[in-house]
Amino acid sequence: MQKNPDQCQFAVALDTIVGKWKPLIIYLLLQGKPLRFNELRRLLPDITQRMLTLYLRELEREEIVKRVIYPQIPPKVEYSITEYGKSLSPVMETIHQWGVAHIERKKHNKHQITTSNSADSKVEP
């Protein structure tokens, strides 16, 4: 069976940026300011230290995130978005906007269902 090159490219892109926390890490670093590990942990309170470390390493390997170690005691490590990583900005912004619209749509649909069910329960047999 022959592989579809477009599907392969799509899969590679998704493998690079998708994970429970990767999009949020990328989005936070796209805000422009380098962040230390514990700052990222505070901004993502539900992520474990292990998962944050794992995702940062993966993003660093993909050249999306840059890790800078400052030679001081105790060592200071900062994470920032690379120039290459900045190319994800329009993608992440579009995903963010879609998420906002999707949440609104779900709220609207839930309201319609609730209103519809209330009207149905008032109908006498």
pLDDT tens digits, one per residue of 5-16:
666 787 888 888
Domain-wise residue ranges, the chain: 1-87, 88-125
Rounded (10°) angle between helices 89-122 and 22-29: 120
- Measure the CA–CA gap between 12 and 10, rounded to whole angstroms: 5
pLDDT at residue 102, as a whole number: 95
* Residue segments in the chain with a per-residue pLDDT below the cut of 50: 1
pLDDT at residue 24, as a whole number: 93
pLDDT in tens, 23-36: 999 999 999 899 99
The fold of the 1-87 domain, in CATH, is Arc Repressor Mutant, subunit A (1.10.10)
Nearest to 81 by CA among 96, 97, 92, 94: 92
- Measure the CA–CA gap between 59 and 96, rounded to whole angstroms: 19
pLDDT at residue 1, as a whole number: 45
pLDDT at residue 5, as a whole number: 66
Please give the model's pTM, rounded to 2 decimal places. Answer: 0.77
